[in-house]
Amino acid sequence: MSALTTLPEWPPSLTPEQHEHLILLSSTYALSHGFTLLPPSSSQPPTSATAAPLSLIPTPFPRTLYNLAIELQPLYNALYARITLDWDFLDKVMGGSVSKVDSFQGELWRGWKSIRDDLVQPLQLGLFRSDYLLHHDDTENSKEGISIKQVEFNTIAASFGALSQRAGEMHRYLQKATNGYFSVSPHLTNPSNFPQNEPLRNLAAGLAEGWKAYGKKEAVILFVVQEGERNVFDQKWLEYELLESHGIPVIRHTFSELSKLAKIDPETKNLLLPSPLEPSVEAREVAVIYYRSAYTPDDYPTSKEWETRIHLEKSKAIKCPSMALQLSGAKKIQQVLSEPGILEDFLLNPSRPDVGFGEGAGDLTQDDIDKLRLTWIGLFPMDNSELGKKAYLQAINNSEKYVLKPQREGGGNNIYRENIPKFLKDLENQNHQPSSTPKEEDDEPDKKEGYILMELIEPPKGLKNWLVKGGENKARLADIVSELGVYGISLFGGNDNNQNHIINKTAGTLLRTKGRESDEGGVAIGISSIDSPLLVD
């Protein structure tokens, strides 16, 4: 499905006085409403905060494509839930060459494999985010116009839900406080162009559903967090929402702290956490483990962190995500899904487990599958299959059309365009370096098999916006690219005793906007701004 062939000229003209007034209103709104980040090298406890990077004006986004992305989210939720439950598929895809050449994914897969037959909690909780870019196919004879193409699907630590809600609220406030942004554009005077968006409320409700399914009112939710987290307010808003709207307390710990504190009852397998602040108080039982870390090798500096992750996995607590669900979000899974028949098998095969297809959904049809597949761009393996060999030649000879992706989350890991050929040559040189431990020749795949090749998505050109970097009192006018994320909630995997706990919902959106000159994003480091969509027809 495609939409407009062009977007409106943007942003509309502002007088210097109007511009200055919007800077003042947006910065004070952000600081007073917790639309904030901690500054770099913040003291503990923190004594200051900066406004999160933001856009002064919402960015135009085709209404039909925004609605399409929301419509498809339950299908994506169901797809990744079923992938997670298919151990043979995960073994084939992630337990093969990827686990041998990618040490991080290898540790994750081998750790999960070592304990999966003894897991005591069948329910799994996913707080997902499916990310898209607008794609404009301006090649000769193309009639596609502007469409959406999926960048990736996140199954762990899908962040910025709370701050995204604050961004939309800020833009609606500016619209009301300035008579529709001083009526400089008809798009800005219509309140219906500013979509209601509540991922904070919805994601917290998803965590609360996991807590309810666990079934113990005295239990808590554990947030596993990184040391020195700057994006702490995004997490804290979830914590406050859980306590104030659902009466559920949250405990925050790092892997380092959990290695000393976390205990599992040998009989019940309950996860118990004593309080370092109240040694005499009975340890709290954990209903849900929510990971806002554990997605990057930096979160596992030693074997102790892997031991802690596996220890938590063995408990009765519901994981968000489980190790299997984290594996399902790998880029290699995304690539294999694009192969013929794989998607149909996961979503149309009646023998697959019931994971729900969303409220009011009937039986899926091939039309549903085709609509989902239209959101994909070309994805190719980097192995020694015939398709992989063709992809390799394309990567070498036409690198300007591609991005090379490793099995990583968190941004900053991809190799773009003209950098690809040299990178692949360097990987080939590594293949021929002698190993310290002799292996059979065919036991060690090529290093490039840890990557996938993806066609570059080509966002529409000519769109600009005013972006304000956190902590600054000025905005820069930039040629922009905006990435739309759609949040989803999936509670699945129960046995016959808890099938009534199946949940599949869409949970809101995130729009991150950056200057076109940057391939990578990153809100905390100021490359991307948290934005909100202005729906246009």
Write out pLDDT tens, residues 477-492. Answer: 999 999 999 999 999 9
- Residue among 77, 97, 512, 532 flagged as catalytic: 512
Widest Cα–Cα separation across the chain: 74
DSSP state of 535: E
Same domain, 207 and 322: yes
Q: Is residue 258 part of a domain?
A: yes
| 129 assigned to active site | yes
Active-site option among 159, 185, 270, 482? 159
According to DSSP H, which parts of 10-62 are helical? 16-32
Asked whether residue 96 falls in the same domain as residue 125, the answer is yes
Q: Which helix (H) or strand (E) holds 452?
A: strand 451-455
Active-site pick, 55, 154, 315, 504:
154
Identify whether the C-beta of residue 271 lies closer than 8 Å to the C-beta of residue 286.
yes
Shared domain check, 294 and 402: no
The model's pLDDT over 184-222, given as tens digits with 9 standing for 90+, comes to 999 999 999 999 999 999 999 999 999 999 999 999 999
- The binding site for ATP consists of 152, 331, 405-414, 416, 454-457, 483, 514, 520
The residues that bridge with 479 in the sheet, in sequence order, are 464
Residues 406 and 466 in one domain: no
Most confident option among 41-50, 438-447, 448-457 = 448-457
CA distances to 199, 357, 487 from 203, in Å: 6, 18, 8
Q: Which residues are within 8 A (CB) of 13 and not within 5 positions of it... i.e. 6 or more apart?
A: 184
pLDDT at 436: 45
User: Which residue(s) pair with 150 in the sheet?
Assistant: 132
- For residue 96, the 8-state DSSP code is I
Amino acid (1-letter code) at residue 134: L
From CA 27, how far away is CA 39, in angstroms rounded? 15
**What DSSP letter does each residue of 293-337 carry, written as one string?**
S-SSGGG-SSHHHHHHHHHHHTSSSEEET-HHHHHHTSHHHHHHH
Tell me whether residue 537 is exposed, middle or buried, using C-beta atoms within 10 angstroms of its C-beta: 0 to 12, 13 to 18, 19 or more. exposed
Residues 473 and 350 in one domain: yes
pLDDT for res 361? 73
Q: For residue 499, what pLDDT is reported? A: 57
Using alpha carbons, select from 84, 97, 119 the residue that is nearest to residue 355: 84
Give a yes or no: residue 6 inside a domain.
Answer: no
Q: Residue 11: inside a domain, yes or no? A: no
Domain-embedded: residue 297: yes
> pLDDT at position 20, please?
97
Instruction: Provide the pLDDT confidence category of residue 524 given band limits of 50, 70 and 90.
Output: low
Task: Indicate if 414 and 325 belong to the same structural domain.
Answer: no
Q: Return the pLDDT at 438.
A: 43
The answer to whether residue 283 sits within a structural domain is yes
Q: Choose among 292, 234, 252, 253: nearest CA to 524.
A: 234
The residue whose two tokens read 């409403």 is: 33
**Strand-by-strand arrangement of the 402-406 sheet:** 379-381, 451-455, 402-406, 415-416
Instruction: Let me know if residue 7 belongs to a domain.
Output: no
Q: Is 218 assigned a catalytic role?
A: no
| 368 pLDDT above the threshold of 60 | yes
Owning domain of residue 32: 16-40+48-377+457-536
Question: Which tokens go with 35?
Answer: 């639309």
**Has 331 been annotated as catalytic?**
yes
Same structural domain, 337 and 382: no
Three-class DSSP category at 527: coil
Backbone angles phi, psi at 91, to 5 degrees: -65, -45
| pLDDT tens per residue, range 111-161 | 999 999 999 999 999 999 999 999 998 765 555 689 999 999 999 999 999
Task: Select, from the ranges 30-44, 370-384, 432-446, 520-534, the one with the highest average predicted confidence (pLDDT).
Answer: 370-384
Task: Please tell me the total count of domains within the chain.
Answer: 2
Distance (Å) of CA 357 to CA 122, 149, 257, 396, 495: 19, 21, 38, 41, 18
**Could you tell me which residues are annotated as the binding site?**
129, 152, 154, 156-159, 229-231, 235, 292-295, 331, 405-414, 416, 454-457, 483, 512, 514, 520, 523-524
Asked which of 45-54, 172-181, 440-449, 505-514 is least confident by mean pLDDT, the reply is: 440-449
Of the candidates 456, 488, 503, which is a domain's last residue?
456
Tell me if residue 466 falls in helix, strand or coil. Answer: strand
* Active-site hit among 152, 169, 209, 449: 152
Is the model's pLDDT at 440 over the cut of 50?
A: no
512 has catalytic annotation: yes
In Å, how far from its chain's centre is CA 213?
A: 24
| pLDDT score recorded for residue 441 | 45
What number of residues does the chain have? 537
Whether residue 60 lies inside any domain: the answer is: yes
The annotation places the binding site for Mg(2+) at 152, 154, 409
- Torsion sign over Cα 120, 123, 127, 129: positive
**Looking at the domain assignment, is residue 246 inside a domain?**
yes
Cα Rg of the chain, angstroms: 23
Residues 404 and 266 in one domain: no
Same domain assignment for residues 325 and 425:
no
Among residues 106, 410, 515, 522, the one annotated as catalytic is: 410
Q: Given this model, what pLDDT does residue 411 score?
A: 72
Query: Which whole number is the average pLDDT over 450-457?
Result: 97
Evaluate whether 283 touches 251 at the Cβ level (below 8 Å).
Answer: no
Q: Judge contact between 471 and 50, C-beta under 8 A.
A: yes
Q: Is the separation of the CB atoms in 504 and 87 below 8 Å?
A: no
195 and 76 part of one domain: yes
42 part of the active site: no
For the segment 313-317, the average pLDDT, to the nearest whole number, is: 98
The mean per-residue pLDDT over the stretch 46-57 comes to: 95
Q: Which residue has the higher pLDDT, 246 or 408?
A: 246
Average pLDDT estimate for 341-349: 96
Residues of the chain above pLDDT 70, percent: 93
- Region 506-518: mean pLDDT is 93
Q: Answer yes or no: are the C-beta atoms of 489 and 161 closer than 8 Å.
A: no
Whether the CB-CB separation of 94 and 332 falls below 8 Å is answered with yes
Same domain, 140 and 71: yes
CATH of the domain at 406: 3.30.1490.50
Whether 419 and 357 share a structural domain = no
- The domain boundary residue, chosen from 423, 456, 489: 456
SS3 of residue 347 by DSSP:
helix
Is residue 390 annotated as a catalytic residue, yes or no?
no
Strands (E), 371-423: 379-381, 402-406, 415-416
State pTM to two decimals. Answer: 0.95
Structure tokens at 177: 């406080």
Annotated active-site residue 528? The verdict is: no
Question: In 3D, which of 389, 390, 391 has the Cα closest to residue 404?
Answer: 391
Binding positions for substrate:
129, 156-159, 229-231, 235, 292-295, 512, 523-524
